[in-house]
Structures are given as C-alpha cells and as structure tokens.
Amino acid sequence: MAFQRPPGTQDILPGSAAIWQRVEEAARNLCRRFNYREIRTPIFEMTELFRRGVGETTDIVEKEMYTFEDRGGRSVTLRPEGTAGVVRAYVENKLYGEPDPAKLYYIGPMFRYERAQAGRYRQFHQFGVEAIGSVDPALDAEVIALGAMFYREIGLSGVRVEINSVGTPAVRAAFRGRLLEFLEPLKDQLCEDCRKRMERNPLRVLDCKVDQDKFGGAPSILDSLDEECRTHFEKVQQFLTAMDIPFAINHRLVRGLDYYTHTAFEYKAEGIGAIDTIGGGGRYNGLVREIGGPDQPGVGLGIGLERTVLLLEQQQEAAGETIDVYLIGLGEAAERETVRLLHALRQAGLKAERDYAGRKMKAQLKAADRLNARFAAILGDDELARGEITLKEMASGDQRFVKLDELAAAIREQG
Ligand code: HAM
C-alpha cells in the first residue's frame, strides 16, 4: 500500500510554491519597512510554556496540542502558535535590556490537532509579529496596520478589520458576572460546548458559531471598561483613522487564547466555507510576567498563510505562472546554439525553458503554451547561418526575426 500524508497536513507543490514565496517575500519586505526583525525559535517547546502562556482553559491547551514525552522523559509540545515561544526567547535572551521595544517577526509552521477541513489543518503556517516592551496604543495601531497592509500588498481584496477591547483581568472578572446573568436563563438552549464554556471561560461563549444568533441582547464588554482601558481603546481607533485603515468595532470579538488584554482584533474575509477569520492578534500585557519574565507589555498578530494563499488562489485563478521564453532548436547545429543561448537568457535575468524530450516543433509549441510562455524563440540551421532567430509572441501569434545577440533585449522590450 502506498503511503499517504497524515490527516490535516498538506504538500505544498511547485504549482503553489510560487505564490507562497511571493507571500513570504511580501511579509519580509513589509517587516523591513516597519523595522520588525526576524526571530526563529524552536518548533517544539516545553509543554508547560503553552499551558501557562496560551491558557489552561483554551481549546488549544485542552484538546489540540501535539504533546509527547521525549526520550529523556520531558513533556514537550509542537508549538500551536508563535507568541509563547517568542516571549520565552525574549525573556531567556534578555531582549528587554534594550531601551526600545523589541519588534520581532516570524514565519513558520504551527501544529494543532483540529478537525481538518478547508482552511483548517493540523500543520499550518503563520506569519506573526510581536512588539514587546511598550504600552503605547500607537504600537497596537501599528501592528493592526501592518496586517492590513500585508493583505493589501499581496493583492488580497475584501479583507475587513474588526477590533475590540477585552480590558484587563479585573474588567473581565466584573463583566463575567454580567454576562453570566444574561446567559443563565438561556442555558438550556445552548450547545454542549457553550454550557461547558459557561463554567470555565464564559467570554468564549460569545464566540460560538452554533449559538451566535441567540446573543443579540448580550451585554457589551465595552460598557464595563474602566477609564484606562477606554482611553487606550479610543487612542487605537484614532491612530487607525489617522492611517486611513478602515475598521469596525465588534464588542463580541473574543479570541481563542487567554493572554489578551485591551486590544483584540481580527482580519476577516469570505470564501473559505464556514471559516471567515484569516488573521488575528492583540495586546498581552500580562504574558511576559506570567511566563517568568519582567513586567513587560506586548502586542502582536498571527496571520494564517494557508488561508491567505487559498483566498489569493481563488481571487487570482486566471493569473497563473508564466515564463518569458520557450526556446526551440531544430537541427544539430542549432541544438548546440540553443544550449548556449538558453544559458545566456537566464544570465540576462529572463525565465527561460526548453524541451528535453526530443519532441517535434508542434509539440514543443504546445509545451510553450502549457507553460504560459510569453514568447517562443525558434532556431533552425538556416536562421543560425544568418545569426538570427524567429521570435513568436504566443498571445498574438505575431512573429519576426531578431538578431541572436539582441534576443534578450527584444523580449524585454515587448514585456
Ligand atoms: P490565532 O487566532 O490562534 O492567534 O491564529 C492566528 C491565525 O492562524 C488564524 O487567524 C488562522 O488564520 C491561522 N490558523 C489558526 N489555526 C489554524 C489551523 N488549524 N489551520 C490553518 N490556519 C490556522 C494566534 O495564534 C496568536 N499567536 C496571534 C498573536 C500573535 N497574538 C498576539 N501575537
């Protein structure tokens, strides 16, 4: 029996690797301009880090972690998200010694044992940023803007930004009471998950997909914010407006991780079945201390790259990969010249390909078509004797002779 990949994993094949590379390049380029520097942390960490960091009552820690004992008897876990590891590295390497906030980014695989479906995998990739060491709401707004700009620069349209404030732990404790008062009479109508969440983590109830329409009259956490939380949230909104980043306030937005304080936000888009969240993040002022570091605040985001690429592929279906020129040599002398010429075209920076199967000219032209070649360049012995080559534009079918040593320039000119 042939082997199959484990459920929930994906092979990223050359056909979509190009789009992955473009997306990752856009992320790096953006981070350079925002002055976020790359950090690479281990793909597994000690299990305790995630229990403490992500939170005991979260779905992630309760039922989604890939946890195992290594040969030394330690409990380790494949990282389900990037923030806990980055914060651990920040503390361990004392990056807080620097006067300015540490502005870090990462791109890499994450692991969650979830029910696999379109847009939901057990190994997936995130592009994330973390800015640690400042409470300035300008940093919240910067991170939200960075994510919005990422989607814009890769050419993904229809992405909405939703923001909320989840306050401080004290604010949440007060709100929990008000929320439970509202939920209690509904209890019998709620799904099993919600009933469980009411006991352990009532704010998460608001996030339930099944019972969503029952919460129209739920109290808003925004009404429970204290003065400091309200001012912070207002500033974030002012700064987003100053940067012309459209956003909507969603007072029911609660994230699936426990470390958030103040700002929480999500990027949403239609197109992947029931899933509409494609990225999210927020501020986490207690996390660094929670995992044993100094009392340093932070804010960050995580963007799911599978979901991003899926939507991009949908939106840009027509705009497939192309090559600049497909080189066809006919005859023995031309064959040798083709090898030299192909190499020269590539050295000149063009994306060039040839036939390696000894096919006839017609089949080679078909191959050029399949590869979305902009041009075919055809070299026969006669043309070679004159130092020329036939350049055929694939879309129009127009063809003309060009001098061999002007081929690269001719292709470029018409590009
Ligand atoms: P998160 O909302 O759990 O946040 O994940 C961020 C994004 O990762 C999601 O919006 C989604 O696009 C993608 N994602 C999550 N789970 C899966 C999955 N099973 N399959 C495919 N994509 C998935 C975090 O992870 C936080 N660490 C973000 C953050 C950084 N907050 C502050 N700093």
4 is in an annotated binding site: no
pLDDT at 274: 86
82 is in an annotated binding site: yes
pLDDT at 119: 95
Distance of CA 202 to the CA centre of its chain: 29
> Which 8-state DSSP code applies to residue 257?
S
The reply to whether 219 falls in a domain is no
Same domain (yes/no): 160, 231: yes
Is pLDDT of 321 > 90?
no
Is pLDDT of 319 > 60?
no
Tallying the residues shown for the chain, one arrives at: 415
Same domain (yes/no): 135, 19: yes
255 is in an annotated binding site: yes
The reply to whether 71 falls in a domain is yes
* C-alpha distance from residue 315 to each of 60, 104, 157, 228 (Å): 31, 30, 8, 42
* C-alpha distance from residue 257 to each of 52, 66, 207, 239 (Å): 11, 17, 12, 25
As given in the structure block, the two tokens for residue 332 are: 């023995």
The reply to whether 330 falls in a domain is yes
Average pLDDT over residues 154-179: 95
Domain boundary pick from 266, 291, 316 = 316
Q: Which atom of ligand 1 lies closest to the CA of 304?
A: 12
Distance CA(359)–CA(86), nearest Å, equals: 54
Same domain (yes/no): 98, 244: yes
Q: What is the pLDDT of residues 81-90, one digit of tens each?
A: 999 999 999 9
Same domain (yes/no): 117, 257: yes
**Among the listed residues 345, 310, 311, the one whose alpha carbon sits nearest the alpha carbon of residue 329:** 345
Distance CA(77)–CA(74), nearest Å, equals: 10
pLDDT band of residue 242 (cuts 50, 70, 90) is very high
105 is in an annotated binding site: no
The reply to whether 41 falls in a domain is yes
CA of 76 to the centre of ligand 1 (A): 20
Number of domains in the chain: 2
Three-class DSSP category at 245? coil
332-347 and 407-414 helices cross at what angle (nearest 10)? 60
Same domain (yes/no): 344, 401: yes
Q: Which atom of ligand 1 lies closest to the CA of 267?
A: 10
Question: Which residue CA neighbors atom 10 of ligand 1 most closely?
Answer: 279
Average pLDDT over residues 160-178: 96
Q: What is the pLDDT of residues 90-105, one digit of tens each?
A: 999 999 987 789 999 9
Mutate to test the pocket of ligand 1, among 124, 204, 311 (most ligand atoms within 8 A of CB): 124
121 is in an annotated binding site: no
pLDDT at 121: 98
Which string of DSSP letters, residue by residue, matches 276-315? EEEEEEEE-TTHHHHTTS-S--EEEEEEEHHHHHHHHHHH
pLDDT at 99: 79
CA of 312 to the centre of ligand 1 (A): 18
57/259: higher pLDDT: 259
pLDDT at 214: 86
CA of 303 to the centre of ligand 1 (A): 6
Please name the amino acid found at residue 407: L
47-54 and 83-92 helices cross at what angle (nearest 10)? 110
Distance CA(285)–CA(380), nearest Å, equals: 70
Question: Which residue CA neighbors atom 33 of ligand 1 most closely?
Answer: 300
Q: Which atom of ligand 1 lies closest to the CA of 255?
A: 2
Q: Which atom of ligand 1 lies closest to the CA of 256?
A: 3
**DSSP count for the chain of H helices, then E strands:** 14, 16
Average pLDDT over residues 351-369: 93
271 burial via Cβ count (<10 Å: 0-12, 13-18, 19+): middle
Same domain (yes/no): 291, 147: yes
Scored b (16 or more CB within 10 A) or e, 190-228 reads beeebeebbeebbbbbbbeeebeebbeebbebbebbeee
Distance CA(95)–CA(355), nearest Å, equals: 54
Percent of the chain whose predicted confidence (pLDDT) is above 70: 99
Same domain (yes/no): 374, 243: no
Same domain (yes/no): 101, 153: yes
Q: Residue for token digits 């340093």?
A: 296
CA of 81 to the centre of ligand 1 (A): 7
The reply to whether 405 falls in a domain is yes
Scored b (16 or more CB within 10 A) or e, 152-179 reads eebebeebbbbbbbbbbeebbeebbeeb
Mutate to test the pocket of ligand 1, among 126, 156, 161 (most ligand atoms within 8 A of CB): 126
Q: Residue for token digits 């709401």?
A: 137
CA of 124 to the centre of ligand 1 (A): 9
182 burial via Cβ count (<10 Å: 0-12, 13-18, 19+): middle
pLDDT band of residue 318 (cuts 50, 70, 90) is very low
Average pLDDT over residues 146-164: 96
* C-alpha distance from residue 233 to each of 108, 163, 206 (Å): 31, 9, 20
Same domain (yes/no): 406, 260: no
**Among the listed residues 254, 152, 257, 261, the one whose alpha carbon sits nearest the alpha carbon of residue 209:** 254
Domain boundary pick from 316, 351, 377 = 316
pLDDT at 35: 97
90 is in an annotated binding site: no
Same domain (yes/no): 40, 149: yes
**Among the listed residues 327, 308, 310, 301, the one whose alpha carbon sits nearest the alpha carbon of residue 383:** 327
Q: Which residue range(s) make up the domain with 376?
A: 322-413
Domain boundary pick from 288, 316, 344 = 316
Same domain (yes/no): 124, 162: yes
As given in the structure block, the two tokens for residue 362 are: 């017609």
Distance CA(51)–CA(125), nearest Å, equals: 21
CA dihedral sign, ordered 111, 114, 120, 121: positive
> The domain spanning residue 346 has which CATH number?
3.40.50.800
> The domain spanning residue 251 has which CATH number?
3.30.930.10
209/290: higher pLDDT: 290
The reply to whether 208 falls in a domain is no
Question: Which residue CA neighbors atom 18 of ligand 1 most closely?
Answer: 120
CA of 150 to the centre of ligand 1 (A): 16
The reply to whether 209 falls in a domain is no
Residues 6 or more apart whose CB falls under 8 angstroms from that of 212 comprise none
Point out the least confidently predicted range of 166-175, 188-197, 207-216, 237-246: 207-216
CB-defined site of ligand 1, < 6 Å? 81-83, 112, 114, 120-121, 124, 126, 128, 130, 255-257, 277-282, 300-302, 304, 306-307
The reply to whether 232 falls in a domain is yes
Question: Which residue CA neighbors atom 20 of ligand 1 most closely?
Answer: 120
pLDDT at 317: 66
pLDDT at 320: 65
CA of 163 to the centre of ligand 1 (A): 16
106 is in an annotated binding site: no
> Which 8-state DSSP code applies to residue 9?
-
Same domain (yes/no): 279, 341: no
Distance CA(312)–CA(320), nearest Å, equals: 11
CB atoms inside a 10 Å sphere around CB 297? 21
| Average pLDDT across the chain, whole number | 94
pLDDT at 113: 98
CB 83 within 8 A of CB 126: no
CB 330 within 8 A of CB 361: yes
